[in-house]
């Protein structure tokens, strides 16, 4: 499989994983909030706000654990695909006038 085709497939796969992770994160947050809201009546605003504040604690903890997992990444992670993409670019073709340093003026 040519490298550009593989890169496109990898890009599509990473976009899919990103969308899935956003969806799963939103669903997880909803489940946690629903667990803390439980049987709190919607007419009691102060109890609703307190329940949501309590739900933010485990969600914040999950966010911190996720952030800590990113500390395991190394500086070179992901660099190979980025350098491969920039190394494969072809130089831009220039006109003879541009190479000679002559300014080109188009029609007004």
Please report where in the chains the tokens 């992901």 appear, as a residue. Answer: 78
Res. 88: pLDDT tops 80: no
Does the global pTM surpass 0.85?
no
Within a domain: residue 107? no
**pLDDT, average across residues 71-91:** 64
Calpha distance 95→98 (Å, rounded) = 5
Within a domain: residue 105? no
Which domain, by its residues, includes 74?
A: 3-100
Within a domain: residue 16? yes
- Give the pLDDT band (50/70/90) at residue 102: low
Q: Of 56, 17, 19, nearest to 36 (Cα)?
A: 56
Within a domain: residue 33? yes
Total count of domains within the chain: 1
Within a domain: residue 34? yes
């Amino acid at each position: 499989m040519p490298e550009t085709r593989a890169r496109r497939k990898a890009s599509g796969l990473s976009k899919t994983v990103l969308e899935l992770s956003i969806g799963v994160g939103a669903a997880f947050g909803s489940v946690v909030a629903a667990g803390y809201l439980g049987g709190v009546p919607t007419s009691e605003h102060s109890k609703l706000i307190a329940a949501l504040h309590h739900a933010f604690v485990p969600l914040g903890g999950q966010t911190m654990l996720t952030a800590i997992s990113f500390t395991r990444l190394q500086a070179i992670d992901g660099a190979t695909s980025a350098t491969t993409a920039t190394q494969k670019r072809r130089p831009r073709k220039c006109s003879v006038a541009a190479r000679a340093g002559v300014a080109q003026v188009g029609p007004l």
